[in-house]
Amino acid sequence: MLRLAQSRHILALATIMVLGFTFTLFSMLYETNLNVEQLVSQRISFVILTKDGQRNTQILKSHFPQARVSLGNNASIEGSLEDIYKEKYIQELEHFMKHSKTMLVMLLEDDVIPVYTNKTLWYHIAINTVPLFSNDLANFDCSKRGLFLTTTSDGNKSLCRMFSKETLAEQIKCLRSITDPIDITIHYCQEQLNITQKRFLAFVHSGMPSVIQHHDTIIY
């Protein structure tokens, strides 16, 4: 009888510990009183990359009225579509460095759509970009599933990326130093500069073919 009572106590204690641990972990990961509006609008700049303002540009702009719409192949360089696109991408990063007061920038292609409703979308962006540790200056892939985890990048195309201003000057210098397509170059530079990459899911491809061709195949 005594043994049974003891094991019940142990079981109860273990249950309390597990619940306590889960609750702590949950509240660490999901702060309930986040100032979402402030975290997103004062920390993050948004850029929508589009050729002509078509496709999902207006949808994206409706979610982020503050977004800068980067129109056209504004790179004023000769070269393949891939080269022009890369130059445009880098110019947008430079523009952000020079003109924006926010810590992070999100570059969105015009062929993505958000995974969540507006309110949840803003919440997810806020919670996923708050650092876990100090000086945790990461790049983000915001079109892949993740769990606050650090991931290595693989050089494959991403439809949504975020960069931290803190390391961006070095990154831009590196991005210009090699001639590969932008996604491969970003991967290379992150590795060279030991920049952490994290990921979270906020956007997915809506199914429209990309204007940029990669290795002779259209990437969706």
Ligand X SMILES: *[C@@H]1O[C@H](CO)[C@@H](O)[C@H](O)[C@H]1NC(C)=O
* Nearest alpha carbon to residue 93 among 202, 12, 10, 167: 167
Distance (Å) of CA 36 to CA 16, 119, 143, 150: 32, 9, 20, 23
Residue 134 or 194 with smaller CB distance to ligand X: 194
Query: Residues 192-211 vs ligand X: string with x where CB under 6 A?
Result: -xx-----------------
CB burial string 83-115: b at 16+ within 10 A, e below: ebbbbbbbbbbeebeeeeebbbbbbbbbbbbbb
Q: Which of 85, 89, 122, 200 binds ligand X (CB under 6 A)?
A: 122
Within residues 127-166, the interface with ligand X by CB under 6 A covers 154, 156
* Nearest alpha carbon to residue 73 among 61, 82, 64: 82
Choices 25-33, 43-51, 68-76, 129-137 (CB under 6 A): range interacting with ligand X: 68-76
Choices 45-53, 69-77, 108-116, 201-209 (CB under 6 A): range interacting with ligand X: 69-77
What is the smallest separation between the CB atom of 103 and ligand X, expressed in angstroms?
18
Residue 37 or 52 with smaller CB distance to ligand X: 37
* Structural tokens at position 77: 């360089």
Query: Would you count residue 39 as binding ligand X (CB under 6 A)?
Result: no
